[in-house]
Amino acid sequence: MTGFIHSIETMGLLDGPGARTVFFLQGCPLKCAYCHNPDSQPLRSATAHEMSPGELLAYVQRQRSYYQEDGGVTFSGGEPLLQGAFLLDCLKLLKENGVNTAVDTSGFGDRRYLRDILSYTDTLLLDVKAFDADSFRELTGGDFSNYLRFLDTLRTCGFQGQVWLRHVMVPGLSDSEAAMDALVDLAAPLGFLVDRIDILPYHELGLPKYRQLGLPYRLEGVPPMDRERARELERYANKRYLGRLPHDTRALNPFTAGQAPKKEPRTTMPTAAPGNFRADSAAPSPYIKEGIDLRKLPLLRHLSVSEFDELAHSVAVRKVKKGEFIFRSGDPAEVLYIVCEGQFKILTHTPDGREQIMYIYNPGDFVGGLNLLKSHSYLYFGQALEDGVICTMDKPFFDRTCLNNPVILRQILEKSYDRIRWAEELVTRLSSSNAGLKVAELLLRMGDRYGSPSPEGTRIDLSLNREELGSYAGLTRETITRKLGEFKELGYVDYTSNRYIVIKDEQALRAYVIGS
């Protein structure tokens, strides 16, 4: 398969997080009055060139050193969804190779691939052309109902990425607070998915291309948008979005062409910040407990605002001390636990009384979902590895809300599958009598799950002491200390304290496992 590429931009800084390679795909079904690349509208063009997903990946690999932590690849256009099959293959290949992805779209294209495309997209740059059917048709020549269907799909498909709303502001068309209110009303059902609203000031840089191609320019004589005024309205729109979410996103249904969404009571909505669940400010809010903003917890991100209002009165957030038990084997499963800060270990005891750690839970992880579904008691212990904060959701709220939310149920099933695979690996590891194999496999698994890149290698930050690390591997403290020392002498790992381990030679560790 090949796709048609209009052009490529390296080191793009405005089309998604960080530094990015931007592939502008050929073809667009819309005819926007302010389009500054009219030559990108036809699907076939003498100036476009073909590229396969493999060739695209090879190009990206040469650019990866510039991406650093946040950067990646953005597909823009034209309209990238128009080449849906090619876009999907490219996104799959990039994600398989650990590349962050973004798609800049107006929502028009081949709907057969839409849900799969969204599942491989980290950031969706969603163009908001106009806010009602007549204006949309006049500005783009497109059908507003198709755009509304795209918004509905985005809202209900379980999209796990973030949305950046983008609107080109044209003087005399949308340069007003009333227009920004209409933008916010249109986007409000997306709720917690929206991370930011960007206003792009209209400019005349595309005018020479129209003259060169002999095409009429519908905005001839319209002056460029004042940038300071655009920034002012951008701040206004972001502020209004935070304060004008619908009361219940599932009850509100503005997805009818030409129908204006109704105004709803005010609330607040911060952007999601995975891994950091602290409140952004000290402002009082029923959603903030013990300094933790409940709306940032990944499991709860797709609750409606009305459900959050109920949640705020149905959950407890509490601090826990290192060594404190959260639950014990035999306790009834009456609540779901969500880790907000700190690390927790899930453990059991072997027949000879030794502790065996089964899982390590990090911020954002949760435990008890399947237990609540089946009303089963816990078979293991949950204990804090360090001072932390947990959130507990009671079973009545879980049954009323989460059981009816397919996105939350999917997260529970995915997490359960992940833990089953980890348990299978644990059984395989513990069945071996080779201490070196146990340690090497444990380090590799922890590096895959908890490691972060560093100049020296993959760094694993630990809340485990050597005894607990040995418990995780099924070894005594003395044995794991000895094997880590041997691996350090061989240059496989390095450490200067009990707080972290750096995997310096992952290939050697994997060869050790295979050889054992």
Query: Could you list the pLDDT tens digit for every one of the 516 residues in the chain?
Result: 899 999 999 888 888 888 899 999 999 999 998 888 888 888 888 788 999 999 999 999 998 888 877 789 999 988 999 999 999 999 999 999 989 999 999 999 888 999 999 999 999 999 999 999 999 999 999 999 999 999 999 988 888 888 999 999 999 999 999 999 999 999 988 877 887 899 999 988 878 888 888 888 888 889 999 999 999 999 888 888 876 654 333 333 333 333 333 333 222 222 333 457 887 655 567 778 888 888 788 887 777 666 777 777 778 899 999 999 999 988 888 888 999 999 898 888 877 677 888 888 888 888 887 777 777 788 889 999 889 999 988 888 888 877 777 778 788 888 777 777 777 777 766 665 577 778 888 888 888 877 888 888 999 887 777 888 877 777 888 888 888 888 888 889 998 777 789 999 988 888 777 755
* Pairing outcome for strands 20-25 and 72-76: parallel
Closest C-alpha to 332, from 286, 394, 289? 394
CA distance linking residue 256 with residue 254, whole number of Å: 6
Read off the tokens for 451.
């490691």
Domains within the chain, CATH numbers bracketed: 3-243 (3.20.20.70), 288-419 (2.60.120.10), 432-515 (1.10.10.10)
- Three-class HEC string of 30-92: CCCCCCCCHHHCCCCCCCCEEECHHHHHHHHHHHHHHCCCCCEEEEECCCHHHHHHHHHHHHH
C-beta separation of 476 from 435 below 8 A: no
β-bridge mates for residue 257, sequence order? none
Q: What is the DSSP letter of 222?
A: P
Is residue 425 left, alpha or beta, with left meaning phi > 0 and alpha meaning psi from -120 to 50? alpha
Burial class (CB in 10 A: 0-12, 13-18, 19+), 85: middle
Is the CB of residue 224 less than 8 Å from the CB of residue 202? yes
On whether the CB atoms of residues 23 and 103 are closer than 8 A, the answer is no
d(CA 448, CA 427): 18
Contacts of 95 (CB under 8 A, 6+ apart): 101, 120
Reported as type and span, the H/E element at residue 496 is none
Closest CA to 300 of 404, 400, 407, 188: 407
Q: How many CB atoms are closer than 10 A to CB 411?
A: 21
Cα–Cα separations (whole angstroms), residue 497 to 196, 464, 472:
41, 11, 18
* CA-to-CA dists, residue 221 to 34, 190, 229, 503, angstroms: 12, 36, 19, 62
Amino acid identity at 268: T
Is the peptide bond prior to 474 cis by the omega test (within 30 degrees of 0)? no
Helix axes 406-430, 435-450, angle to 10 degrees: 160
Give the angle subtended at the CA of 191 by the CAs of 123 and 405, to the nearest 5°.
95
Q: Is the pTM of this model over 0.75?
A: no
Beta-bridged to residue 196, according to DSSP, are 164
Do the beta carbons of residue 346 and residue 359 sit within 8 Å? yes
Instruction: Give the per-residue pLDDT at 281.
Output: 57
Alpha helices in 244-313 (DSSP H): 305-311
Residue 147 amino acid letter? Y
